């Protein structure tokens, strides 16, 4: 099996290395990852600027690796469109931080998985609920291994990527794996004005996540209760229940 591994935290991130180590147990691994952190880029693609691919020895000679100057979605586009890779599986992550609820819209990790799904490549995005660049991925690696085995035994349609969030707990304290839906939520943002060394103002975004969607079928509930959340995603944003809100107007 050929496996493409991407991320959004950049080619030097510990989470990427942890994911590559597990992926190597399942087949031939290729890595295309951003040359710098690209968190929060969502599904941005680079238009009107050059894109570059740099061969890298980040994972040794046995793992063909490229650093990309663009976004996570760019990494997948270049892997398939320039390098000609057609992997059997695409893995993105392991992200340093959460990607549940509304985070899925902002996540570069999930944009790589979604881009793979656009190409009908079976794709899974992994995130650990620990934002530290020094996070311990030992338990997360065990979960990644278990999820991949489940996926291979009972695959989803290739156009449906999976969003896997892993609680920041020792493996012995993780209660299990649950299929979930995306909890409704939002960020309440504030902007702090600060002054740079040249005396000019700039703004730093801060805020908090809010959700009252605490039903037991949500990713938020599962993570709060110590479960791994596995949420199947779709690129179709249509609100079907509102398609008849207005009658068709013929002109």
pLDDT digit string, tens, across residues 224-242: 999 999 999 999 999 999 9
pLDDT at position 211, please? 80
Burial class (CB in 10 A: 0-12, 13-18, 19+), 128: buried
Burial class (CB in 10 A: 0-12, 13-18, 19+), 51: middle
Calculate mean pLDDT across residues 8-28: 96
Round the average pLDDT of the chain to a whole number and report it.
93
pLDDT at position 147, please? 98
Instruction: Tell how strand 28-34 and strand 65-68 pair up.
Output: parallel
Task: Give the CATH number of the domain where residue 119 resides.
Answer: 3.40.1210.10
Rg from Cα positions in the chain: 19
Classify 33 in phi/psi space as left (phi over 0), alpha (psi -120 to 50) or beta. Answer: beta
Kindly tell me if the per-residue pLDDT of 198 is higher than 90.
yes
Domain contains 153: yes
- State which residues form the domain around 46: 2-184+214-237
pLDDT at position 153, please? 97
Calculate mean pLDDT across residues 45-63: 93
Kindly tell me if the per-residue pLDDT of 38 is higher than 90.
no
Domain contains 200: no
Domain contains 140: yes
pLDDT at position 13, please? 95
Domain contains 194: no
CA–CA separation, 11 and 35 (whole Å): 6
pLDDT at position 133, please? 84
Which pTM was predicted? 0.93
Domains of the chain: total = 1
């Amino acid at each position: 099996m050929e496996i493409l591994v991407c991320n959004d935290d950049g080619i030097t991130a510990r989470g990427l290395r942890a994911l590559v180590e597990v992926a190597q147990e399942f087949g031939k691994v290729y890595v295309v990852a951003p040359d710098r952190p690209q968190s929060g880029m969502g599904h941005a693609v680079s238009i009107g600027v050059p894109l570059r691919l740099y061969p890298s020895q980040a994972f040794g000679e046995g793992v063909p690796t490229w650093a990309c100057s663009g976004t996570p979605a760019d990494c997948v586009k270049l892997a398939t469109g320039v390098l000609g890779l057609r992997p059997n599986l695409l893995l993105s992550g392991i992200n340093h931080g959460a990607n549940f609820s509304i985070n899925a819209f902002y996540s570069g990790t999930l944009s790589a998985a979604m881009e793979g799904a656009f190409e009908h490549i079976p794709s899974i995005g992994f995130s650990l609920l620990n934002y530290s660049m020094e996070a311990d991925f030992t338990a997360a690696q065990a979960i990644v291994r278990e999820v991949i085995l489940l996926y291979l035994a009972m695959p989803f349609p290739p156009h449906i990527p999976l969003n896997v969030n892993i609680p920041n707990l020792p493996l012995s304290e993780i209660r299990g794996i649950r299929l979930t839906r995306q909890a409704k939520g939002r960020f309440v943002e504030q902007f702090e004005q600060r002054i740079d060394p040249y005396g000019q103002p700039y703004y730093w975004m801060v805020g908090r996540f809010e959700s009252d969607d605490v039903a037991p079928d949500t990713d938020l509930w599962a993570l709060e209760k110590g479960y791994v959340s596995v949420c199947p995603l779709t690129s179709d944003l249509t609100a079907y229940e509102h398609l008849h809100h207005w009658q068709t107007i013929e002109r």
